[in-house]
Structure 1
Amino acid sequence: MCLSPALDAAPLSLADEIVSAPSVESTTVADMALYGSKLEVVDRQQIERAGPSADITRVLQMYVPGLFVVPKNGPFDYGTYSLLGGRNDDTLILLDGVRLNNRLYGGIYLDTLPTTAVERIEVLKGGQGLLFGTQAVSGVINIVTRSAHSRQTAGEVNLGLDTFKGRSGDTRVEKVVQNGLGDLGLMAYVSHNRSDGYQPFRDRDMTDTVSDKRRSYNVNVFGGKAVQALGDASRLELFYQYADADLDFARPTSNRHTTNDRVQQIATATFQQSLGEDFSWFAKTHINDWDTRYTRVYNLEGGGTRTLNHNDYWGFTDWGAQLEGKARLAGGHELVFGNDNQWYKGQDDVLIIDNDKAESHALYAQLRPRIDALPDWHPSLGVRREEMSGGEGATVWMLTSLYDLSERLKLRGQFGTAFKLPTAEQLFVNEPGDEMGNRDLKPERSRNAELGLDYTGSLFDQPWSGSMTLFRREITDLITLAGDQWVNGNGEIEVRGVEANGQWQFGRNWQVSADATRNLVDSRDGVTVNNVPHFFARVRLGYQDDLWGVGVASRYVGSMMSAQGDDYGHYAVLDGDAFRYLDGAHQHRLSLLLENLLDRDYATGRTSNGLRQVDYLGRPRTAELRYTFTF
């Protein structure tokens, strides 16, 4: 659970070699930490220690205070996410500042994003609807991709195995070259992850008609990034990733074969320019294309099979274009303003949606005043207006504040509103007797408040840092299913809680870190929020020197309530990891991850086997070994 102790510890520049232009990586997320929002950064070293088969979900599960993450059936699967008491789709996912959440279905789709190309992950906590729009109700997760750092050809090769016949391998290569325009950074990567998977249901919970009892996966990805400096003040970045995944889905009853065969392509382009010291701007465009062929074959009682779906298509294509400027005004004040546009279309042969297109357009502005009489106070205030097709728009505002009580102690807070627009599914789904849309749905609206203290100092003459955040969220017009009908719930849902974390470096090589989150969720008039843990905590102890390191981590999850009213959770899981460099030049390394050391049987969620509610099981005891060659 080692976290970057401060924002300054996570450099935001591209590389020392490329100095002729501003960084193309979006600084919008990191900038908010300077004005009162809480930011956590997961760095590259932590990502590498998450294990050979780690995907983004596993990395987030290990390292981010206040964020509860659990994959449903192991790596490369859908997961449950809850940031500061939020629901799955209350968190916005960005890739280099570009929105990934799909507006047709909502939810978080990270199950085919490998960690090979990820430099760091920035998690911005609390309501962030002002700059980031719909779904940034409880926070934002920004995945920052890697860039070329070396003028010599450099890279790495990783090979991994695990005890469920899992095989993983990836290669990355990079180089910075110079052309007539300036420095050009080139990076390319390829990765492969395959496993037979584990059995995610207890024997007693599976019916006799189940023949496919394991959940396997086969994920292949390649991608690349080019960063071209254009003179001393401009930069163009191009990114592309292609993922081909065969994902198996286990079921506790009648299951013979259920798969999503998927191809996903993500492409982004960013241009950034500084016009002197007082004005800079960037333009971003992206496309996220997702194509899935869904197959579901059931075994019948007494023999034979029934094909419910055979290569049925579901997928979507998202486009986006954003323009943002930052101006330094007279007196040292700063103004951020922008325009954000999103277009969506989809097709679903499994779930009938009458209108499979949507679009939204937003204008926003934020003022960051400088008050000479209060040099230790760093406030901001702003407003955003967003309109959507087929539904009602929303206006939100936000006030943030960071106050330096001393060199070591900072008081931060933010207060404002956020919103979540209804998805096309919620507006237009047409499955009588199962799920029906509601074209009159209003956006969900919430009032959000966060107040926190951050301390960086020493304990027994050793470096120590700690943080505590109180949060409160009041949600009105909550979008929920009433029987088979999507409706805005009556009354107001209140979510409140506290999150605390600390990190202590003792001696030259030892470090201990811990975090805990308490969520309190109210329900009103039959409307409630489900699958949010009432309490969860993590602690990690680690040792590291120049050649080797070892760590042990425990995570505890308290009570969780499913939509059916089942109380589950109540488990603790112990993990261990180690690495050893085989040479002084740090070119050869062996890494070991031992997940669920005590082989604890625990539930990641609930489903039905046709007779009763049963548990999805978390990954059992698993050993993963990886060899890394760096060149």
Structure 2
Amino acid sequence: MIRRSFTPLVGCLFSPLLLADDNALILNAQLVSAPSVESTTVAAMARYGSKIDVVSRAQIERAGPAADVSRVMQMFIPGLYVAPKNGPFDYGTYSLLGGRNDDTLILLDGVRLNNRLYGGLYIDTLPANAIERIEVLKGGQSLLFGTQAVSGVINIVTRSPQTPSASGEVNLGVDTFGGTTGDARVEKLFNNGWGDMGLLAYVSRNASEGHQPFRNRDMTNVSNKKRAYEVTTFGTKAIQSFGDHSRLELFYQYADANLDFARPVASHKTTNDRVQQIATATFEQNINERLSYFVKGHINDWDTRYTRINNLDAGGTQVINHNDYWGFTDWGVQAEGKAQLPGGHVWIVGSDNQWFKGQDDVLVIDNNKAQAHALYTQLRPQIDALPDWHPSLGVRHEAMSGGDSATVGMLTSLYDLNENWALRGQYGTAYKLPNAEQLFVNETDEKGNRHLKPEKSRNAELGVDYRGSLAGRDFNASVTLFKREITDLITLNDRLWVNGQGQVKMRGFEADARLALNQQWSVQADMTRNLTESRAGVTINDIPSFFARSRIGFESQSRLWGAGAAIRYIRDIASSRQVEYGHYSVVDADAYRYLDSTHQHRVSLLVENLFDRDYVTSRSNNVDNLGRPFTSEVRYTYRF
């Protein structure tokens, strides 16, 4: 068990993550000896002034019917707006601290998932059962993480082996739409001739006929009005330590998904048949008490077959696309070293190298290969005269083949005012490299531009955190002010991608708090206000001006059962055609009961949209995409 002293890793401060009685952040013990590579860079930045929130495994299990990653993030991450397009395992809209859909960098165990072909976020096939926790590092983070970390970084940490005897769990669930979920996991730690070794494997399957994502009046000549999905995933992880100072970690995940692509007009059949494979290998070593390093390699391979068959008004069908291919492969190597210098200073230096290629049978892209290489360094000084001040400063340079280079800098600061209060802040520049479509697309109505410059932004965050008590009860609270100014915006000018003269300024605040009413009851809430200013015709779409969440939870004294309810409110949102939507509140609920005192058998009830609210998650082609209606799921869990 890891217990952190007061720093804004209590940026979790409210977090639904502080689940222990003393409100300390608790992560599962890693029993394999030697250092752990899991997201150490993300967690370390919390000690130097970056705000971090963590979604725990317990929260993931309460995320709702057939939870995928988007659903988990929608419920539990302060400052993050998530709107799944048509329910589970679908594309979504994401906005962290007012950022655009691709201003947030998504990592899986520190490996980039954002695709360089289109720049989008494709996480719709990641199963929640494979995840141990989700770490969210807020604000511009290009220094250590590179392109697209404009508004923050979300690091999805997969589960690791943790028990010396063979153990695991099995989950089975069914929901009110006939959807079924099933998953299993097994793990074991043992010692071999080199040191400790841990093995873990998991498998999951989620399938449903789905719900109707459009109103009847908006659907014309559609054969199947429901949006179905079928996702099967297998994953494995192996961790081998070499003594107490070196460690090798191998991870592989295979996902096979058949996903309906819902369309409201003339749709006979539209599907994405997808296979995604992710593999990582990481070696790290503590050379001595002052020097350590890690080397990480990864491959992210995505292959989709797209089929679109239209219904004709006169009867019959027309094949528009038949198993047309689109996909990409990203692979890369990152190396980072850390040195403890005399005087307590810490120096970080690293190199991040990526190669990627893509192909699309529908969208013509002339040059489907590219690469990017970066060098970065960061100093974390220790100032003896100010022992409660923890600053850092650094610089990064990245060059991309076929495009321009970018250089950014970042300064962060954490000051512990006393045992209850801390003041944090960060200021720096961030960048977003043009993607392959923007550089090389060659269609009659869309042309790429090989001379595009990276988008640049200046980012500032200032926050205050409190951890203590209110009326004699444990209380944590946090407020963060943010401001972002983006220039060299990459935009379409008629048919050509250009760096426009427009400029966008985003500012706002995020506040969150958690109060333990007593040993059984707790309440938590968060709110985010986004204010956008733009010029030269630039618009920012599909980002709510305000959204908020609140949750109340109860745990019995015996911890054999518990229940909770949550409400999220979304204010006005403007679509790309400046049509306003939003203005809704949705209530979710959950309850669980262990059937035995050893916590081996558990039954859970999960409810999404308790009052069956009709609400709009997004708009496309002047049609409303509807959020999932009332859905309940009963789930049985067996742990061994």
TM-score by length of 1: 0.97
Partner of 1:313: 325
Could you say what the CA RMSD is over the residues aligned between the two structures, in angstroms?
A: 1.2
1:34 and 2:47 aligned: yes
1:210-289 alignment, distance < 5 Å: 210-289=222-301
Counterparts of 1:334-413 in structure 2, within 5 Å, are: 334-413=346-425
2:198–2:238 contact (8 Å) kept in structure 1: yes
Give per-residue Cα distances to partners, 1:218-275, cap 9 Å, x unaligned: 0000010000011110000000000000000110100110000001100000001001
Alignment-derived partner of residue 439 in structure 1: 450
Give the aligned partner of residue 506 of structure 1. 517
Q: Distance in 2 between matches of 1:570 and 1:304?
A: 40
Q: Match of 1:286, as an amino acid?
A: H
In 1: Cα distance, 2:628 partner to 2:203 partner: 26
Summarize deviations over 1:428-452 as a string: whole Å, max 9, x none: 111112x221222111000000000
Q: Residue 540 of structure 2 is aligned with which of 521, 529, 540? A: 529
What SS does the aligned partner of 2:343 have?
helix
> Aligned-pair distance for 1:302?
1.4
Residue of structure 2 aligned with 1:329, choices 341, 344, 354? 341
SS at match of 2:70: helix
Q: Is the Cα contact below 8 Å between 1:574 and 1:598 reproduced in 2?
A: yes
Match of 1:131, SS state, is helix
Identity of aligned residues (%): 67
Q: Residues 154 and 103 of structure 1: is their aligned pair in 2 closer, same or farther, counting only changes over 3 Å?
A: same
Structure 1 residues 580, 216: CA separation in 2 closer, same or farther (over 3 Å shift)?
Answer: same
SS of the residue corresponding to residue 505 of structure 2 reads: strand
| Residue 532 (structure 2) pairs with residue 518 (structure 1) | no
Q: Kindly provide the amino acid, as one letter, of the partner of residue 479 in structure 1.
A: I
8 Å Cα contact 1:37-1:413 kept in structure 2: yes
Determine which of 614, 620, 629 is the counterpart of 2:629.
620
Structure 2: gaps of 5 or more residues:
1-13
1:14 CA displacement: 5.4
Q: Find the aligned partners of 1:294 and 1:108 in 2 and give their Cα distance.
A: 18
Q: 1:436-473: per-residue Cα shift (whole Å, max 9, x none)?
A: 21222111000000000000011110100000000000
Deviation at 1:9, TM superposition (A): 4.0
Q: What is the deviation of 1:398?
A: 0.1
| Residues 331-370 of structure 1: per-residue CA shift (max 9 Å, x gap) | 1100011000000001110111111011100000000000
Q: Secondary structure, in 3 states, of the residue corresponding to 2:102?
A: helix
Query: Of 71, 74, 81, which aligns to 1:68?
Result: 81
| Deviations 1:118-169 (CA, angstroms, capped at 9, x unpaired) | 1100000000000000000000000111111111110000000011110000
The answer to whether the aligner puts 1:449 opposite 2:460 as a matched pair is: yes
Which of the numbers 134, 144, 154 marks the counterpart of 2:157? 144
Q: Is the 8 A contact 2:303 2:328 kept in 1?
A: yes
Is 1:630 paired with 2:639?
yes
C-alpha displacement of 1:3:
1.9
* Counterpart-to-counterpart distance in 1, 2:638 and 2:259: 29
Partner Cα separation in structure 1 for residue 37 and residue 347 of structure 2 = 19
Deviation, structure 1 residue 523: 1.8
C-alpha separation in 2, matches of 1:285 and 1:6: 34
Aligned residue runs from structure 1 range 408-427, under 5 A: 408-427=420-439
Q: How do 1:16-27 and structure 2 match up within 5 A?
A: 17-19=31-33, 21-27=34-40
Determine the C-alpha separation between the residues in 2 that align with 1:288 and 1:402. Answer: 35
Cα separation, partners in 2 of 1:14 and 1:336, compared to 1, 3 Å: farther
1:133 aligned residue (141, 146, 161): 146
Equivalent pair of 2:334/2:352 in contact (CA under 8 Å): yes
CA distance in 2, matches of 1:520, 1:24: 37
Distance 1:463 1:162, change over 3 A: same
Give the superposition deviation at 1:282: 0.2
Separation in 2 of the partners of 1:325 and 1:529?
39
User: Structure 1 residue aligned with 2:471, among 420, 445, 460?
Assistant: 460
Question: What secondary structure does 2:419 align onto?
Answer: coil
Aligned-partner Cα distance in 1 for 2:156–2:443 = 35
Provide closer, same or farther for how the CA distance between residues 6 and 169 of structure 1 changes in structure 2, counting only shifts above 3 A. closer
Residue of structure 1 in register with 2:607 after alignment: 594
Q: 1:550 to 1:180 in 2, by over 3 A?
A: same
For 1:165 and 1:12, the matched residues in 2 are separated by 35
CA contact (8 A) 1:104 1:357 kept: no
The CA deviation string for residues 96-126 of structure 1, in whole angstroms up to 9 with x for no partner, is 1111111111111110000111110000000
Q: Which letter maps to 2:551?
A: R
Cα shift at 1:71: 0.5
Partner residue of 1:89? Answer: 102
- On the 8 A contact 1:590/1:625 being kept in 2, the answer is yes
- In the other structure, the counterpart of 1:202 is 215
Contact 2:39 2:155 in 1 (8 A): no
- What is the CA–CA distance in structure 2 between the aligned matches of 1:219 and 1:329, rounded to whole Å? 49
Q: Contact (CA 8 Å) 2:65, 2:608: kept in 1 or not?
A: no
1:464-475 to 2 correspondences below 5 Å: 464-475=475-486
Counterpart residue type for residue 335 of structure 2: L
> What corresponds to 2:11 in structure 1?
none
The offset of 1:5, in angstroms, is 3.5
The amino acid of 2:374's aligned partner reads A
State the distance in 2 between where 1:578 and 1:6 align: 16
Letter of the structure 1 residue corresponding to residue 132 of structure 2: E
Q: Which residue of 2 aligns with 1:154?
A: 167
Amino acid at match of 1:125: K
Give the structure-2-normalised TM-score.
0.96
Which aligned segments of 4 or more residues in structure 1 are displaced greater than 6 angstroms?
none
Letter in 1 for 2:32: I
Deviations 1:514-558 (A, max 9, x none): 000000011211112111110000010110121111111000001
Residue 567 (structure 1) shift: 0.8
1:82–1:532: 8 Å Cα contact kept in structure 2?
Answer: yes
The one-letter amino acid of 2:110's match is: G
